[in-house]
């Protein structure tokens, strides 16, 4: 196995992919040890436990924090992290042009979340050799070199208050060079907020700014005015910046902002700052408190329910093809087993040949054996055709094969009858046709089409009656299931399925 390496700028993605790779490589090595062995089985409890307790996410977060904070004692550092109520702490960069409201939003964020507010001015208040060196450049009215500035930021963020409570970097970084240098130094934010507003609005705001010298809070004669008369009396004008200087600062921001967006594209959200400051803060806070879509390994386990003709087989095929997960149709699986010269195949063959239902105990034994194989455990599965009733569903759960997504494809009986009873197959080519949706291309093909006796209206009505008799109890067992209108174009149905398959559901958050 190749060693795991970390790029600090993308350590989360590398870590997650390597966790998944290690998991699969280990399993593959086990198989390679004995090619004649039976298919490797992995207990389903392993994946369920890992996902229920977010083990992969936890490992990902712990290693990411180690790489970012670089503690002298990694073990003690991890112990402290695990003892905290939450392993993840906010790491926020709040960016935007002059007068966009960064200071106001940053202060409110810190009050609300108890994180540490970091600005360029308080970084330079630290009593260290690095700070003294930086102040010498300031005294000469020279810019602080980027490498020295990054060391100062690292120095501040490595302090115990930032490590334990998190931080908000206000107006840092300002340039692409700073952003890339911070990435190389391992300073990785969880969220980046970019406040945006038209230049005309920003110029107007800048002219009306007032500062409270006691608290440092920023107010405005039009947009934000304090209610406390004592605060009003001590407000001071901000150090005068001419309109020409402000325009120059805005132009500099516009030159850099595209590169900043690109650098932090995976965690950046732009927010319109030209609205009441309360609304701006609410939107920023909502984003800061949100969790990004996890890139930790996840094995999808999908159940598809629906009446005959609802398109379960087609949707399972589409899901399987796009996401490389195992497509399991219970009926096809039973036929495949009966064709094998095995004890179980011989046992179920009479039932299939006579058209009788295979006993639940046999079906469950075959199904659980198949779901335990390596491909299902590492890639995931989409199952349809089982369970058909509450008892079967409960037995499946008792076997620890618990779906992570459940979908009910819904349609009326009239639509089902139209879809099923009018379909046929060409015995020569194997091509499937439908009298309404896909008629035969020629009279010659039409004359040789064959209809499956199982698709007769009488047979279908019995199947529909059985499905609806059990649908309600199955829906009660899976209250988080998603209901999809199947009376649509198949690709529209797939888009609806896919949007709920890849996104987090409420019980995942």
Burial class of residue 285 (count of CB atoms within 10 Å of its CB; 0-12, 13-18, 19+): middle
CB 390 within 8 A of CB 478: no
Say if residue 209's pLDDT is above 90: no
**Residue 499's pLDDT is what?**
83
Token pair of 42 as six digits: 């992995």
Mean pLDDT across the stretch 354-380? 90
Percent of the chain with pLDDT over 90: 46
Could you tell me the two tokens for 484? 């999809």
pLDDT at 44: 64
Per residue in 277-323, pLDDT (tens digit) is 889 999 999 898 877 655 566 788 999 999 999 999 999 999 999 98
How many residues make up the chain in this entry? Answer: 509
Report strand pairing: 116-118 vs 167-170. Answer: parallel
pLDDT reading at 472 higher than 90: yes
Q: What is the mean pLDDT of residues 405-431?
A: 93
Token digits of residue 137: 């450049």
380 class by beta-carbon count within 10 Å (0-12 exposed, 13-18 middle, 19+ buried): buried
Contact 482, 407 (CB under 8 A): yes
Contact 352, 298 (CB under 8 A): no
pLDDT of residue 17: 42
Mean pLDDT within 42-68: 73
- Other Cβ atoms within 10 Å of 184 Cβ, number: 12
Is 263 within 8 Å of 95 (Cβ atoms)?
no
- 53-62, 129-138, 264-273, 490-499: least confident range: 53-62
Please report the pLDDT score of residue 9 as a whole number. Answer: 38
pLDDT band at 328 (very low <50, low <70, confident <90, very high): very high
Domain 301-502 has CATH 3.40.50.300: yes
Is the preceding omega at residue 75 within 30 degrees of 0, hence cis? no
Q: What are the tens digits of pLDDT across the range 125-158?
A: 888 899 999 999 988 889 999 999 999 998 898 8
What tokens appear for 347 in the block? 């046992």
Q: Using the 8-state DSSP alphabet, how is residue 173 labeled?
A: -
Count CA within 13 A, CB hemisphere, residue 87: 16
Residue 308 exposed, middle or buried by CB count within 10 Å (0-12, 13-18, 19+) = buried
Peptide linkage before 387 cis (omega within 30 of 0): yes
Q: Does this chain's domain 87-289 share its CATH topology with 301-502?
A: yes
Round to whole Å and give the CA distance between 493 and 505.
18
Residue pair 334/345 in contact (Cβ under 8 Å)? The answer is no
Name which of 6-20, 89-103, 335-349 the model is least confident about: 6-20
> Reading across the β-sheet that carries 116-118, which strands appear in turn?
116-118, 167-170, 91-95, 191-196, 268-272
Phi, psi of 285 (to 5 degrees): -60, -45
Instruction: Name residues whose C-beta falls within 8 Å of residue 349's C-beta, 6 or more positions apart in sequence.
Output: 338
| Phi and psi torsions of 168, nearest 5° | -125, 115
Q: Where are the domains of the chain?
A: 44-82, 87-289, 301-502
Average of per-residue pLDDT across 457-470: 94
Average pLDDT, the chain: 83
What beta strand segments (E) does 312-371 contain? 326-329
Alpha carbon distance 342, 349 (integer Å): 11
In CATH terms, the fold of domain 87-289 is Rossmann fold (3.40.50)
Is residue 461 very low, low, confident or very high in pLDDT (cuts 50, 70, 90)? very high
For residues 192 and 374, give the distance between their C-alpha atoms in angstroms, rounded to a whole number: 39
Please check the confidence at residue 237 and state whether its pLDDT lies above 90.
no
Q: Map residue 116 onto helix, strand or coil.
A: strand
**Helix and strand element counts for the chain (H, E):** 24, 15
Cα–Cα distance, 406 to 402 (Å, whole number):
10
pLDDT(224) > 50: yes
Report yes or no on whether pTM surpasses 0.75: no
């Amino acid at each position: 196995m190749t060693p795991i390496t970390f790029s600090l700028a993308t350590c989360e993605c590398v870590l997650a992919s390597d966790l998944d790779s290690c998991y699969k490589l280990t399993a593959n090595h086990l198989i390679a040890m004995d090619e004649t062995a039976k298919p490797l089985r992995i207990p389903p409890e392993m994946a369920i436990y890992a996902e229920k307790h977010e083990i992969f996410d936890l490992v990902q977060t712990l290693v990411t924090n180690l790489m970012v904070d670089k503690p002298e004692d990694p073990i003690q550092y991890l112990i402290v992290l695990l003892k905290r109520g939450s392993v993840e702490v906010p790491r926020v960069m709040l960016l935007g042009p002059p007068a966009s409201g960064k200071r106001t939003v940053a202060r409110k964020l810190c009050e609300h979340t108890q994180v540490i507010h970091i600005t360029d001015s308080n970084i330079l208040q630290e009593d260290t050799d690095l700070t003294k060196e930086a102040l010498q450049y300031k005294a000469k009215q020279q810019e602080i070199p980027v490498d020295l500035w990054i060391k100062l930021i690292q120095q501040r963020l490595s302090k115990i208050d930032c490590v334990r409570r998190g931080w908000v970097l206000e107006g840092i970084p300002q340039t692409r060079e700073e952003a890339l240098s911070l990435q190389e130094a391992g300073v990785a934010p969880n969220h980046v907020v970019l406040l945006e507003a038209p230049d005309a609005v920003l110029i107007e705001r800048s002219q009306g700014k007032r500062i409270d010298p006691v608290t440092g809070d920023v107010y405005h004669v039009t947009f934000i005015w304090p209610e406390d008369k004592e605060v009003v009396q001590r407000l001071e004008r901000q150090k005068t910046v001419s309109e020409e200087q402000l325009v120059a600062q805005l132009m500099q921001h516009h030159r850099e902002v595209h590169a900043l967006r690109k650098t932090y594209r995976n965690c950046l959200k732009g927010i319109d700052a030209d609205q009441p400051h309360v609304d701006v803060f609410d939107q920023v806070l909502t984003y800061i408190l949100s969790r990004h879509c996890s890139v930790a390994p996840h094995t999808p386990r999908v159940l598809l329910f629906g009446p005959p003709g609802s398109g379960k087989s087609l949707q399972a095929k589409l899901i399987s093809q796009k996401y490389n997960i195992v497509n399991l149709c219970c009926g096809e699986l039973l036929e495949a087993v009966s064709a094998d010269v095995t004890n179980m195949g011989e046992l179920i063959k009479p039932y299939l040949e006579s058209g009788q239902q295979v006993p639940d105990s046999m079906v469950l034994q075959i199904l659980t054996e198949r779901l335990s194989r390596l491909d299902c455990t590492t890639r995931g599965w989409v199952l349809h055709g089982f369970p058909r009733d509450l008892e079967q569903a409960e037995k499946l759960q008792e076997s620890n094969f618990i779906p992570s997504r459940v979908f009910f494809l819904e349609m009326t009986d009239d639509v089902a009858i139209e879809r099923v009873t009018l379909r046929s197959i060409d015995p020569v080519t194997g091509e499937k046709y439908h009298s309404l949706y896909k008629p035969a291309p020629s009279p010659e093909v039409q004359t040789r089409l064959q209809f499956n006796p199982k698709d007769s209206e009488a047979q279908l009505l019995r199947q529909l009656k059985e499905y609806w008799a059990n649908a309600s109890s199955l829906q009660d067992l899976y209250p988080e299931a998603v209901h999809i209108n199947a009376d649509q174009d198949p690709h529209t149905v797939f888009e609806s399925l896919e949007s709920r398959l890849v996104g987090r559901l409420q019980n995942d958050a």
